[in-house]
């Protein structure tokens, strides 16, 4: 009796299969990468919303109590000592010391390429002192956002937060830094004083619909170092 044997793949057939798989992978990779980026941008919007809610609560308490240590970043930047805040770490410290954010919540300031703060916290010994974050919150390494000097008197469309790869210049060629964390030229996040925010594509960076720089009525006005809190 003759035994039949199953024939194996020929070299040509294997090369064809490999080529088909490579082609499918080439088409699928951009879609997978794009979905991952959109997920990261969506998470950054959610994180920005949490920071806004904490700040809104602090500002509301300041309005209701008249206590100058509570307020929007711009009002705190203009406050008299010892209530003055001029840097991101000071702003974060104020939120934590007054229980608007828990130390474990500080991860909301992180994003792609920006490390979350990870450490311990000792509460302030009294109402006139600050607590201790160890290590200190680093506005450059631990914060994905610029925090603009929004005041209580500013309009609802004033920019409160923006990811650090965005700059309000009104020019698409310079408004998004393609090499800057968290997202380079893949997109950026804007969150307004009024409580709304979303992410945008790089091509939308020059739009006058993104909101106004705090203290400016012209949507095309550029930001400056005086328009947002410094990182350090």
In a domain, 126, yes or no: yes
* Structure tokens that stand for 124 in this block: 């302030």
Q: Give the global pTM.
A: 0.85
Quick one: pLDDT band at residue 29, thresholds 50, 70, 90?
Answer: low
Q: Which domain holds residue 166?
A: 37-227
Give φ, ψ of 60 to 5 degrees: -65, -40
Quick one: pLDDT band at residue 171, thresholds 50, 70, 90?
Answer: low
Q: Regarding beta strands 188-192 and 197-200, do their DSSP bridges make them parallel or antiparallel, or are they unpaired?
A: antiparallel
In a domain, 76, yes or no: yes
The domain total for the chain is 1
pLDDT tens-place string over residues 117-152: 999 999 999 878 889 999 999 999 999 999 999 999
In a domain, 213, yes or no: yes
């Amino acid at each position: 009796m003759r035994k039949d044997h199953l024939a194996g793949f020929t070299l040509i057939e294997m090369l064809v299969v490999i080529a088909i798989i490579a082609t499918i992978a080439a088409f699928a990779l951009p879609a997978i990468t794009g979905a991952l980026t959109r997920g990261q941008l969506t998470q950054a919007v959610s994180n920005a919303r949490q920071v806004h809610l904490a700040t809104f609560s602090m500002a509301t308490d300041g309005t209701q109590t008249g206590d100058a240590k509570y307020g929007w970043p711009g009002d705190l930047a203009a406050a008299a000592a010892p209530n003055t805040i001029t840097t991101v770490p000071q702003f974060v410290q104020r939120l934590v010391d007054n229980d608007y954010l828990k130390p474990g919540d500080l991860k909301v300031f992180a994003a792609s390429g920006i490390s979350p703060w990870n450490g311990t916290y000792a509460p302030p010994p009294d109402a006139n002192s600050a607590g201790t974050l160890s290590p200190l919150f680093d506005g450059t390494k631990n914060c994905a956002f610029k925090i603009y000097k929004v005041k209580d008197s500013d309009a609802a469309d004033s920019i409160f937060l923006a990811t650090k790869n965005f700059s309000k210049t009104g020019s698409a060629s310079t408004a998004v830094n393609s090499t800057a964390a968290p997202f380079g030229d893949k997109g950026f996040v804007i969150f307004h004083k009024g409580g709304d925010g979303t992410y945008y594509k790089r091509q939308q960076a020059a739009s006058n619909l993104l909101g106004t720089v705090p203290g400016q009525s012209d949507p095309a006005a550029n930001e400056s170092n005086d328009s947002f809190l410094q990182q350090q």
